């Protein structure tokens, strides 16, 4: 069965901020549109927010509504993409936290990708849940009372979480049935203990930083020369202005 039309008539709020992971946001928006859903990007400020490709700035994305002006009553579900920066900004925002809690209180589905699950921690919705996340924030979830599972996706009732951007395809397969109100194909199994933490950091951010271009000697010298030129020009303007003031004062004395 094609996914097209599966979410026809559904309105989905996408809660994001500057620093949202562009790959996750883009893939999710495309899948929701293909399924017939209407989406609205809800953010901390109006205008456009900057997405990221891991640690590197990426595209600007148009905001549809500021979170203070958005109401969970207007939507059928909530999606929180990840990223290293955006979820941390969202979890510090009282209006964003209240927006998320309103979906839970109304019994509406909530999906969080990778770091996005941190917003669930700060809203108090992680306790007693089976969740996954970016491995680096595993301890945040465990300390908040969740059971952390080291797998691509985890669905616990109305909450769906994913682990990393590489697990995006698996997440999207689970996202559409969740938002359509379908039961999970494989109900979550109750577990008492979380999976252990990783023993080495993920390679993804390390690779990204490794390939970032270092400024060349020529570029640094050019910037230094420009800086010296700006300082010299400012000094010249100040001196010229002082001479003109002095000359004007002298003329005034002679006229009197």
CA 142-148-151 angle, to 5 degrees, is 160
CA distance linking residue 159 with residue 81, whole number of Å: 14
In the chain, beta strands by DSSP E: 11-15, 20-21, 38-43, 48-53, 56-62, 65-66, 77-80, 110-113, 130-131, 147-148, 153-156, 159-162
Instruction: Say if residues 31 and 175 touch (Cβ distance below 8 Å).
Output: yes
Q: Token pair of 103, please?
A: 């979906």
Q: Please say whether the beta carbons of 93 and 63 come within 8 A.
A: no
Q: Of these residues, 115, 129, 138, 155, which one is catalytic?
A: 115
Identify which of 95, 64, 87 has the alpha carbon closest to the alpha carbon of residue 16: 87
55 is catalytic: no
Rounded distance between C-alpha atoms, residue 204 and residue 208, angstroms: 6
Q: Which residues belong to the active site?
A: 115
């Amino acid at each position: 069965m094609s996914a097209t039309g599966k979410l026809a008539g559904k309105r989905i709020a996408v809660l994001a901020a500057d620093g949202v992971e562009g790959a996750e946001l883009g893939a999710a928006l495309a899948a929701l549109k293909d399924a017939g859903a209407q989406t609205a990007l809800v953010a901390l400020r109006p205008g456009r927010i900057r997405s990221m490709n891991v640690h590197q700035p990426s595209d600007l994305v148009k905001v549809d509504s500021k979170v203070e002006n958005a109401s969970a009553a207007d939507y059928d579900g909530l999606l929180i993409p990840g990223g290293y920066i955006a979820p941390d900004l969202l979890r510090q925002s009282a209006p964003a936290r209240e927006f998320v809690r309103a979906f839970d209180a109304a019994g509406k589905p909530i999906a969080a990708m990778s770091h996005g699950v941190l917003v669930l921690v700060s809203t108090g919705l992680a306790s007693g849940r089976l969740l996954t996340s970016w491995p680096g924030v595993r301890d945040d979830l465990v300390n908040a009372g969740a059971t952390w599972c080291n797998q691509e996706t985890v669905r616990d009732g109305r909450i769906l979480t994913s682990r990393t951007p590489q697990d995006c395809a698996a997440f999207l397969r689970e996202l559409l049935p969740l938002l359509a109100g379908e039961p999970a194909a494989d109900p979550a199994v109750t577990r008492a203990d979380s999976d252990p933490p990783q023993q080495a950091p993920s390679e993804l951010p390390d690779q990204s930083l490794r390939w970032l271009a270092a400024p060349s000697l020529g570029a640094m010298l050019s910037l230094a020369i420009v800086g010296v030129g700006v300082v010299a020009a400012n000094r010249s303007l100040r001196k010229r202005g002082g001479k003109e003031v002095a000359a004007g004062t002298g003329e005034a004395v002679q006229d009197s």
